């Protein structure tokens, strides 16, 4: 992990951008993508930063509410158009899976909102429960923190947060489908930071999951047919 000790922090913008650039992992973070480099993270201000930090609890409650609303709609206890709209365009096997009684209380361990900063405050435009960018954001936070810049979550916040969703599982397998291969480098970086003895990036054919192991699904449910070990 990046240490903020014994690092000569650059002052001018060009040197700071170079500092960031030269710390990119050799394998990159997103496959086949290049970057424009900022000498500093996007400034939010204390009011917006506080609002961002409060969103986790609020969005979790929102997920619980819409999950319950969907199930009540399926049961005929809420308007039928709710389930009809949420089922629209989905294959029958996916609808069957999302209605499974065994999964009725399951919620995403990670919720990433896409946010627009407007003159009236934040607007949430999308909620993603299988998001790319976890490793990228972790790397950015480490790198900018190394230059003494304050970032939400500090240098290790993304790493600690991701590791926490696996509890005491002895091994956490991060299964990345071919359809999600763009994000494999950032997940490989993330596993390396957390310790590859426990966190391991696997492809879609991996099946050697031992009792007690945790699995992180890094692919959309539409990809299930392309992931042989999903069953």
Q: What is the pLDDT of residues 131-156, one digit of tens each?
A: 999 999 999 999 999 999 999 999 99
pLDDT of residue 6: 47
pLDDT of residue 207: 86
Reported as a pLDDT band with limits 50, 70 and 90, residue 63 is very high
pLDDT of residue 3: 43
- Say if residue 66's pLDDT is above 70: yes
Among 7-11, 19-23, 152-156, the range scoring the smallest mean pLDDT is 7-11
The arithmetic mean of pLDDT across residues 20-43, rounded, is 90
The arithmetic mean of pLDDT across residues 27-45, rounded, is 90
Q: Which residue has the higher pLDDT, 43 or 230?
A: 43
Q: Tell me the three-class secondary structure of the chain, residue by residue.
A: CCCCCCCCCCCCHHHHHHHHHCCCCCCCCCCCCCCCCCCCCCCCCHHHHHHHHHHHHHHHHHHHHHHHHHHHHHCCCCCHHHHHHHHCCCCHHHHHHHCCHHHCCCCCCCCEEEEEEECCEEEEEEEECCCCCHHHHHHHHHHHHHCCCCCCCCCCHHHHHHHHCCCCCCCEEEEECHHHHHHHHHHHHHHHHHCCCCEEEECCCCCCCCCCCEEEEECCHHHHHHCHHHC
- Say if residue 1's pLDDT is above 50: no
- Say if residue 2's pLDDT is above 70: no
pLDDT of residue 222: 77
Reported as a pLDDT band with limits 50, 70 and 90, residue 4 is very low
pLDDT of residue 86: 94
The arithmetic mean of pLDDT across residues 147-172, rounded, is 94
At 81-121, the pLDDT tens digits run: 999 999 999 999 889 988 999 988 888 899 999 999 888 88
pLDDT of residue 231: 59
The arithmetic mean of pLDDT across residues 120-135, rounded, is 91
The arithmetic mean of pLDDT across residues 205-223, rounded, is 88
pLDDT of residue 17: 93
């Amino acid at each position: 992990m990046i240490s903020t000790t014994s690092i000569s922090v650059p002052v001018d913008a060009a040197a700071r951008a170079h500092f960031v650039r030269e710390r990119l992992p050799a394998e990159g973070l997103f496959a086949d993508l290049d970057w424009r480099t900022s000498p500093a993270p996007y400034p939010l201000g204390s009011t917006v930063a506080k609002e961002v930090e409060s969103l986790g609890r609020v969005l979790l409650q929102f997920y619980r509410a819409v999950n319950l609303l969907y199930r009540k709609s399926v049961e005929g206890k809420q308007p039928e158009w709710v389930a009809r709209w949420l089922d629209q365009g989905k294959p029958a096997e996916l609808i069957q899976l999302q209605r499974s009684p065994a999964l009725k209380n399951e919620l995403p361990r990670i919720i990433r909102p896409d946010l627009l900063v407007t003159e009236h405050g934040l607007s949430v435009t999308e909620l993603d429960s299988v998001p790319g960018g976890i490793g990228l954001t972790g790397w950015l936070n480490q790198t900018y923190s190394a230059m003494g810049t304050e970032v939400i979550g500090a240098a290790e916040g993304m790493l600690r947060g991701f590791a926490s969703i696996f509890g005491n599982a002895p091994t956490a397998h991060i299964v990345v489908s071919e359809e999600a291969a763009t994000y494999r480098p950032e997940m490989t970086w993330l596993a390396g930071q957390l310790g590859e003895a426990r966190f391991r990036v696997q492809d879609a054919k991996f099946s050697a999951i031992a009792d007690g192991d945790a699995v992180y699904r890094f692919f959309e449910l539409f990809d299930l047919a392309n992931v042989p070990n999903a069953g």
